[in-house]
Structure 1
Amino acid sequence: MLDIQKIRADFPILNQKVNGKPLVYFDNGATSQKPQVVIDAISKYYQEINANIHRGVHTLSQLATDAYEIARGKVQNHINAKHAHEVLFTSGTTFGINLVANGFAAILKPGDEVVVSHLEHHSNIVPWQMLCEKTGANLKVIPMNENGELIMAEYDKLLSDKTKIVAVNHISNALGTINPIKYMIDKAHVVGAAILIDGAQSVPHLKPDVQALDCDFYAFSGHKMCGPTGTGILYGKEVWLNKLPPYQGGGEMIKEVTFEKTTYAELPHKFEAGTPHIEGGIVLGTAIDYMNEVGFENIQQQELELLAYATQKLSEIEGLRIYGNSKNKTSVISFNIEGIHPYDIGSIIDKLGIAVRTGHHCAQPIMNFFGIPGTIRASFSFYNTKEEIDALVEAVKKAQMMLS
């Protein structure tokens, strides 16, 4: 069991007031808060070892390079990648997905098929649409049901020898649905397709084992798991990363440059052009250390208790509907109050110090499926409490009374 008050003391932002009320932060699906150890690590980098990496022979450059590559090793161990060079530093999930989609432009031909799901964030839809427009490939969509679950029987029907890549999220950002990705990975491989998993919403809640999953690509962001913004990881199997062309050209990703021809560096540098977010990569390692110290089993237990409690309490409000009732779900609740726009609810409860997300959550196809403009989304982290959920419930009731 977690000592929640001890955990909360690690996050200085949680001590402040918003609009004169104690902050209740339920927008963790957008970004998580940062513990003091992460904040301190950012300052420590700039105070002690700030230098460019991989190029310098001077001491600071070597210290920074060592710290950066140690962080890569931490990520490798965390996700159980076979090789450190299969771990690419990126600016976030969106960058990782675009890197892969751009690479597949050299592989796809007209008539090939790309499969995504109805549950995807726009970042895992738009790059594939752009790829299909560029190559003449066709985009296929796995449908969903009223519970916010993907229909696996329909997924099976979509797969064929024309399928070249499947791109699906591990967990839906809008509904909290946990998708059966191991099944989906295995099925994709049967027809010879690669598969990319968008792990942006899963890494705050669980440790993905990429070898056990056997996924070809796994992308996630650092800022949703207590790390700095502008950081992320793309895992790719060595065989696939060697097949794909570089995403960007510039320094670091080259082996030799002449005006006649350029040859490219080995992995991972082939995909890491230019000066990276050095401090961010190093401190992402610090954030991973922190979350492992808390323990992902403890994190899951705390968050599932919060999800169950919030579901029960919110369901007692007359006229409230929860969207996304999958049997396998993480700590996200999307809901609306009958007859009231979600933005209006969000604006009022913000005045009471409660931070939630309102809108379509960059998942407009989901909202179109339900015939709504958006939802109010409360997304919980391990540092949240049942008392904060009580405050949310009372705030929603007050907003409902004011707007009815």
Structure 2
Amino acid sequence: MDVSLMRIVMIGSGYVGLVSGACFADFGHDVVCVDKDEGKIAALHAGRMPIYEPGLDQLVAANVAAGRLTFTTDLAASVAGAEAIFIAVGTPARRGDGHADLSYVFGATHEIAAALSGPTVIVTKSTVPVGTGDEVERIIREARPELDVAVVSNPEFLREGAAIADFKRPDRVVIGTDDARARGVMQEVYRPLYLNENPILFTGRRTSELIKYAANAFLATKITFINEIADLCEVVGADVKDVSRGIGLDNRIGRKFLHAGPGYGGSCFPKDTLALLKTADDYESPIHIVDAVVKVNEARKRKMGRKVLHALGAQGDGSDARGKTVALLGLTFKPNTDDMRDAPSIAIAQALADAGVTVRAHDPEGTKQAKTMMPDLTYCADPYEAVQGADAVVIVTEWDAFRALDLHRLKSAMATPVMVDLRNVYRREAVEAAGFSYTAVGR
């Protein structure tokens, strides 16, 4: 089979679906991205991206121009004749119990089943709990018992802000299937990665589904661990950056995800840790470490709000900070994305507002989303506008634009020169030399 002739349908044109679809098209495949949101599809036809991801607009434009990438709302017409159909719809945490909401996955499955016309491979790209592939297969076989259909698990491991590089040069590709024909199709789908000698791991389907959750839970644990070590560093007089470096140089531990800060957020870690806990509870096999991670991380976000209030000189519940102004620099959960889901900035801004503090904010890409979630904040065009008249400036997200601020210009615009660096971007000596009172994390 010629890899350039592989016909792929991507159900869902959100973060995972759009990035994956564009990258598959760049591999040479014929890709159709399907979405129910007519506005999103119209925007994509006009070249406007529904998300911010560096390089995605150019990648999409190039493959649309080459005729390899198209967008539609017509699932039935797209699915007919496809060799691989990827389900890349959302699986948000379900209200009430934290379980992954699989209604979009199963809804797409029913629509796919009704539209199939021949042999195909259906691939769950969405992050789904163990056993979801079994249910997808049951739905398909019940609706279309006459067709040769295989269901495969192929979880994504994309970092927001670096998703294209992660897709094209992955640490690994995990494919869960015991079906020989499906394995052959997936090998064709990912053939360019074989040429680059990227590791492709074939496992059972349930194993593949669990790998995704286990990976995210472990990374969330590393973040939460170093955050608690940072708290200990503050009270014993140690420096968490040196502690992180000292333990990270041990290759059994590794240096990544050992940066102390205000806690994890985003589209994956919060919902995936909750979904893993729910799965463990359903199977009566509790994971106490992950349970502690979730609780500690949620408490940490609120704790960072109190940290800012204390830097303002407030005591107790922080009510004596009423009337003061704080500038938040960075609102998204991490740099190089516009994603505000479960961002620490939300809890921090709320804690400040509850104490009667006025919040001014700036983010290079997240303002549009932030306004829908925090409409009472004052949004500013740049960091220097945000700090006008402020009693403290807080670095919440480590965007590159905040790493080399003109400290003297900041100080001259502020009512009180107080900096709270929740990402340990600056050196204390440099900030204090510019006339600031400086508070960091774990230092």
TM-score class, shorter: 0.3 to 0.5
Using CA pairs under 8 Å that are at least 6 residues apart, name the structure with larger relative contact order, 1 or 2. Answer: 1
Q: TM-score scaled to structure 1, two decimals?
A: 0.33
